[in-house]
Amino acid sequence: MRGADDDVTPEERAGHASYMSRSELEVIAEINLMRSDPPGYARLRLEPLRVYYHSKLFFHPDRSPVPIQTIEGVRALDECIRIMENTKPLTALFPSEGLTLAAREMMQEQGATRSTGHTGRSGSTMPERIERYGEWNGLIAENISYGFNKPKDIVAFLLIDDGVPDRGHRVTLLDWELNRIGVSIGPHRRYRHMCVMEFATGYKTNRP
């Protein structure tokens, strides 16, 4: 819902939020690390991944010997690195309680199923979930990661965006107009882990 005033608190500006878990806050910290220095993040997190690609298989160093079947192989990684090397620093994202509630709703609905995508089990859409808990202005967006539970993996593989033609997850993470974020991490019946992220330019959470 457009026209909302932003309600970011001093606690949220400092990267803290009592309504989020430690892991969820660590995801935001990882995103902000990336946004503060995209070329540096590419060197720190992305370039070291090259050695784990064998054709289109990715052998994750922290997972079981069973590799991840990618669609594009190392090509998507190399493209991402080139983009990051030419991206200027971006502003930090601040936590939002309402956006976190929207993310949690999606995580709880979809995590109990084997499905993926941006439509909830009840048929809810991303705008409907975001507007249920507050008012937004500017832009809104949603990213969902499956199969990873470590913040560095969640962020890195959304940036690489293997198999996504428009690189929509990467575009969202690098969008200079976005300022607020909600995150929810939980189990997924098919992929074991999922992480839902809701974004907005500005957001005002509904209060009793």
C-alpha closest to that of 204 among 99, 128, 125: 99
138: in domain: yes
The predicted structure's pLDDT at residue 114: 79
User: In angstroms, rounded to a whole number, what is the distance separating the alpha carbons of residues 208 and 206?
Assistant: 7
Number of domains in the chain: 1
| Model pLDDT for residues 132-158, shown as the tens digit of each residue | 999 999 999 999 999 999 999 999 999
The predicted structure's pLDDT at residue 3: 47
Asked if residue 116 has pLDDT above 80, the reply is no
Percent of the chain at pLDDT above 70?
A: 97
**Helices 74-85 and 151-160 sit at what angle, rounded to 10 degrees?**
90
The predicted structure's pLDDT at residue 105: 96
157: in domain: yes
In this structure, is the dihedral angle defined by the CA atoms of residues 141, 155, 151 and 110, taken in order, positive or negative?
positive
Residue 105: give its domain's CATH number: 3.40.33.10
130: in domain: yes
173: in domain: yes
Asked if residue 187 has pLDDT above 90, the reply is yes
Please report which confidence band the pLDDT of residue 4 belongs to, taking 50, 70 and 90 as the band edges: low
C-alpha 35 chain-centroid distance: 12
111/69: higher pLDDT: 69
Asked if residue 29 has pLDDT above 80, the reply is yes
- Are 135 and 4 in contact by the 8 Å Cβ rule? The answer is yes
Task: Indicate the average pLDDT of the chain.
Answer: 93
53/11: higher pLDDT: 53
Range of the domain at 189: 20-36+89-205
Asked if residue 49 has pLDDT above 80, the reply is yes
The predicted structure's pLDDT at residue 108: 92
User: In angstroms, rounded to a whole number, what is the distance separating the alpha carbons of residues 141 and 168?
Assistant: 10
